Amino acid sequence: MMDWPESVGFVGAGNMAEAIARGLLAAGLRPDQIRASDPVEARRDYLTRELGVETLPDNAEIAANSEVVVLAVKPQHLAAALEGLDPSGRPLFLSIVAGCTSAILARLLGAEARFVRSMPNTPALVGSGVSAIASDSGASAADLDRAERILGSVGRVVRVRESLMDAVTGLSGSGPAYAYLFIEALTEAGVREGLPADTARELSARTLEGAARMVNETGEHPAVLRERVSSPGGTTVAGLEALEAGGLRSAVLAAVRAATARSRQLGEG
């Protein structure tokens, strides 16, 4: 994979920008290779204090002096944030703005601009995110590699066709909240069975974390792993039967479908 960029600028110095900047520093970039702009002085001071990176109120300058510009503002602020930008250095724009399509980016940045659209998720804040980048919207192979490298500093990266970005949003974008709900429910169940709340929460969250690692690290199909722990007539099959009877699988299918539809709707609106 290609080298790190010499300089990365962030337009918008919020939570996701901070997470990615931390990832880049952990991966070996120097603080003087990273800059960020944000309208809020307290936020700028915080980021400079925490990460030692230069921060400024002016977005225009970020674009003029960075090899890669990460667009990390809320969708409703994007158009204003890009006003007066100086893209004469022809930076690569890496957008993490939810719902902002390549067509919108091309309109806002100009037809000549180089950009990659992506969708990270919040576990990026602890370096365990998963991001999707849109692979078919005109970016060069080198620019896709570079985007992948940057987002790879806060987790894993997959490539999908842009038409699937709403599905990504409904699955991994919203997915952490589904997992939190499951952890919450498991915890409550543990408490009902007599476990102290803290112990129940730790057992629940670590169980999900461990199971996810089993899937990722063994490469086994989850159904195979599930069968392996389901001895005939045992405790696990009793639990699984109750989950199936309660409609867990169909509830999850409906959840991702609803979130995907909502993402599509927001993108059109």
Binding site for ligand NAP (CB under 6 A): 11-17, 37-40, 43, 59, 72-75, 77, 80-81, 96-98, 119-122, 173
CA angle 181, 177, 170 (to 5 degrees): 125
How near is the Cβ of 29 to ligand NAP at its closest, in Å? Answer: 19
Residue 132 in contact with residue 158, Cβ under 8 Å?
Answer: yes
Closer Cβ to ligand NAP, 29 or 62, answer by number: 62
Question: Which letter, b or e, does each residue of 191-216 get, where b requires 16 or more Cβ atoms within 10 Å of its Cβ?
Answer: eeeebeeeebbeebbeeeeeeeeeee
Closer Cβ to ligand NAP, 12 or 155, answer by number: 12
Phi, psi of 127 (to 5 degrees): 75, 10
How near is the Cβ of 53 to ligand NAP at its closest, in Å? Answer: 14
How near is the Cβ of 79 to ligand NAP at its closest, in Å? Answer: 9
Cα-Cα-Cα-Cα dihedral sign, residues 134, 109, 1, 65: negative
Closer Cβ to ligand NAP, 31 or 123, answer by number: 123
CA angle 9, 13, 17 (to 5 degrees): 70
Closer Cβ to ligand NAP, 23 or 173, answer by number: 173
Contacts of 248 (CB under 8 A, 6+ apart): none
Give the whole-angstrom CA distance, residue 253 versus residue 184: 20
How near is the Cβ of 258 to ligand NAP at its closest, in Å? Answer: 18
- Starting at the earlier edge strand, list the strands of the sheet with 114-119: 54-56, 34-37, 8-11, 68-71, 92-95, 114-119, 129-134, 155-160
How near is the Cβ of 182 to ligand NAP at its closest, in Å? Answer: 18
How near is the Cβ of 122 to ligand NAP at its closest, in Å? Answer: 4
- Residue closest to ligand NAP when measured from CB atoms: 14
Closer Cβ to ligand NAP, 17 or 133, answer by number: 17
Closer Cβ to ligand NAP, 8 or 17, answer by number: 17
